[in-house]
Chain A
Amino acid sequence: MEYIETDKKRMRTATLLSIVPGLGQIYNKQLFKGIAFLIVFALFVIEMINFGAEALIGLITLGSTPGMDHSLFILIEGSLQLLILLLFILFYAINLNDARKVAKLWAEGKKVNTSIKSILFNMVEHGFPYLFTIPAYVAMVFAIVFPVLVTIFIAFTNYDFYHIPPAKLIDWAGFENFTNIFFLSSYRDTFLAVFGWTVIWTVAATTLQITIGIFTAIVLNQKFIKFKRVFGIIFLLPWAVPAFITIMSFSNMFNDSIGAINTQVIPLIDALIPFVDIGSMPWKTDPTFTKIAIILIQGWLGFPFIYVLVSGILQSIPEEQYEAARIDGAGVLQRFRHVTMPAIFTIAAPIFITQYTGNFNNFSMIYLFNEGGPGSIGAGAGSTDILISWIYKLTTGTSPQYSVASAVTLFISLFIIAISLIVFKKTKAFEMED
């Protein structure tokens, strides 16, 4: 559409006036909206003068007098102020955009709401989706976004047991924590060992639970099976019973000297199977055996979820597809490969991925079974610790290393997000419909 010169000027004036939020709206004859915007702007300016400016400066210095300035609180207040600033910038952009848009409406001779009543009505009518999603945003910002922001900041400080405020100040340390983790031998060796085991654990345990889950679903899906419901209920139990209970029970059962595995299960296997003589195993005292035990237990714990999911999918595959494949001469294995597997994976692939990322951070399994032990591999980590339980130990131990823990947290987050994004892109599972 072509605008005549006065209209263009009108739009420009409205936008320019909006540099002070509200003025542009008043110029557009939307007095009520203009005053509301002006109030928000005034509140922000007052907040900045009284509190905000100082908080932002504090974020740069992190305090100067030990004992007087509490670096942690300064850091938190600064982060909070940063969030407020971001919200204001968002509001500011909306304000500029609004002034321009309404001026354009005037220029095109379209109807513009100027009365308080019609503006309020418009707000309720179009504000409905925003009103309904605000609670989710507030909770998410304070429980996730803000903690992540604080974690990022702390990862670049020297916050540890030598620097506990208010007695001591915390200072910015640049990339020191990251260079320590990746290059300083004491941290690097631990980090590489823990990260390596985290990956092995994730892949082994998750693949095991998915394999058992799919296999069990297919076996139980055969038509001739009697007592299907009974088996179905039993196979759900590991999922239904809270995991911490079973992990702690298993932890008792795998006790080297008095646990059921060494005193009952292995003797039974030795007796039942000829020429097999296993004997007692050091489940809790040898790292390799602890690792084997926790992978097996996770298979036990995790397969029912997959089994339920895959059972549902199997029942939704139309019988004709198998018929057609049979007519084409496909055998049992071929039907499985070309009909069953594709059906399972198209639906369940994204859920399988969440299983992998979940196990990557499966703190309970590692910590409740053997507290990340046995033994230690330096820098506070035990021989079966994964990254998340190492973070826990770095944060809770007698000599906490908060900043290093935060740096590892950042590493985990970026790693998980990167993997998830790659997979989601590939599977297109989360494609939006419009």
Chain B
Amino acid sequence: MNKIMKSQKTSQFVGKFFTYFYLLILAAIIIYPLLITASSAFKAGNVAAFDLSFDTEWTLDNFKRLFGETLFGEWYWNTLIIALVTMVVQVTVITLAGYTYSRYRFVGRKKSLMFFLIVQMVPTTAALTAFYVMALLMGALNQTWFLMFLYIGGGIPMNTWLMKGYFDTVPYDLDESAKLDGAGHFRIFIQIVLPLVKPMIAVQSLWAFMTPFGEYMLAKFLLRTPEKYTVAIGLQTFINNPQNQKVALFSAGAILIAIPITLLFFMLQKHFVAGLTSGGTKG
């Protein structure tokens, strides 16, 4: 008896040991590169090596140079505008459409849902030549509004599906009883149902907001002059020239982008799973 208990204890100990071992190693692998980037931002002089060392002079100079010598301020501003417009327009559009598909039964509903589903599979960013030709025709090359438009339109089919799925989780009895009380279409939508899908709206807003901060290909392809750049393509110019790498400036810029985005992310993080699983699978 004693022997069995002992062996059980040993195996439990081994299990715990490997669990913590795995968790710590994984945590180290995650933190290490982030720490390198974060610390490089505060290093004085021309940082050559991109590694983790604390044997250096610390300074805030890189941030001053970032706003004084480069166009970073303008890039940040551009990205912020694109992100805000994309977020507001896209979330409005998909909320209206998602609500409609969830609540109304109308002629052509099933067909158009199917249409959304197929369109959602098209890898739109691949249609570069078409975007280029459209931009030429409309004089939209190097214009932020065209980029915003593509971000908004490209995200609509998938996100409408997710939104509809979340609206489906709000019980129908609520709008039925409101209808009996004489509430109109808009009243039911805005006062009854909308407050209940706030978590999903928050998640969708964050995703729409984050897209312009992270998207590289379309922005690089459509924006041709440095003062129009978004942060992603702007920061890349600091490091894409092997002869003249400004690693410290890149890191300083990266911190200024990563901190607000990461904070927003953690604020809304608890809603992610509900939004994903209810929308993606219920149909």
Contacts and interface: CB of A to CB of B under 8 A. Distances in A.
Interface in A233-261: 233-246, 248-253, 255, 258-260
B26 interface: yes
Contacts of B154: 143-144
B131 A126 contact: no
Interface residues of A, number: 102
B261 interface: yes
Contacts of B52: 260, 264
Q: Kindly name the residue among B32, B97, B272 whose own CB sees the greatest number of chain A CB atoms within 10 A.
A: B97
Contacts of B118: 417
Contact of A147 (B20, B124, B214): B124
A420 interface: yes
B133 to A, nearest CB: 5
Contacts of B272: 308
Query: Nearest 6 pairs between A and B by C-beta?
Result: A143-B153, A312-B273, A260-B51, A252-B50, A147-B130, A150-B130
Contact of A395 (B50, B128, B157, B277): B128
A122 interface: no
Nearest to A222: B19
B106 A129 contact: yes
Interface string A116-128: 0000000000101
A225 B149 contact: no
B123 A234 contact: no
Interface of A: 72-73, 75-76, 126, 128-130, 132-133, 135-137, 139-140, 142-148, 150-151, 154, 159, 216, 219-220, 222, 224-225, 231, 233-246, 248-253, 255, 258-260, 263-265, 300, 308-309, 311-313, 347-348, 350-351, 354, 357, 360-361, 363-364, 367-368, 371, 388, 391-392, 395-396, 402-403, 405-406, 409, 412-413, 416-417, 420-421, 424, 429-434
A263 B49 contact: yes
B50 A150 contact: no
Q: Kindly name the residue among A235, A248, A433 whose own CB sees the greatest number of chain B CB atoms within 10 A.
A: A248
Given A143-B152, A252-B247, A255-B50, 6 more contacts: A73-B136, A235-B27, A246-B37, A308-B273, A363-B216, A364-B217
Contact of A136 (B27, B34, B97): B97
Interface in B223-280: 232, 235-236, 239-240, 245, 247, 250-251, 254, 257-258, 261-262, 265-266, 269, 272-274, 276-277, 280
Contact of B127 (A151, A225, A238): A151
B125 A388 contact: yes
Contacts of B133: 72, 75-76, 150, 154
Given A139-B152, A231-B27, A249-B254, A237 B96 contact: no
B262 A73 contact: no
A237 B30 contact: yes
A371 B217 CA distance: 12
Interface in B98-155: 99-101, 104-106, 109-110, 112-113, 116-119, 121-134, 136-137, 149-150, 152-154
A270 to B, nearest CB: 16
B258 A241 contact: yes
A104 B100 CA distance: 29
A143 B147 CA distance: 10
Contact of A312 (B48, B117, B277): B277
A151 B50 CA distance: 42
A264 B32 CA distance: 11
B149 A242 contact: no
B67 interface: no
Nearest to B31: A234
A138 to B, nearest CB: 9
A313 B216 CA distance: 32
A403 B128 CA distance: 11
Contacts of A136: 93-94, 96-97, 156, 160
Contacts of B109: 129
Contact of A233 (B161, B185, B266): B266
Nearest to A143: B153
Nearest to A125: B185
Nearest to A72: B133
Nearest to B132: A395
B217 to A, nearest CB: 5
Contact of A391 (B26, B126, B160, B254): B126
Nearest to A263: B51
A132 B217 contact: no
A142 B145 CA distance: 14
B29 interface: yes
B136 to A, nearest CB: 7
Interface in B59-105: 92-94, 96-97, 99-101, 104-105
A300 B30 contact: yes
Contacts of A126: 106
Given A246-B33, A395-B132, A409 B126 contact: yes
B190 interface: no
Given A159-B129, A260-B36, A429 B124 contact: no
B16 interface: yes
B281 interface: yes
A142 B138 CA distance: 13
A126 B27 CA distance: 56
A220 B236 CA distance: 36
A315 B104 CA distance: 34
A237 B34 contact: yes
A144 B153 contact: yes
A242 B126 CA distance: 21
B239 A133 contact: no
B257 A240 contact: no
Contacts of A235: 26-27, 30
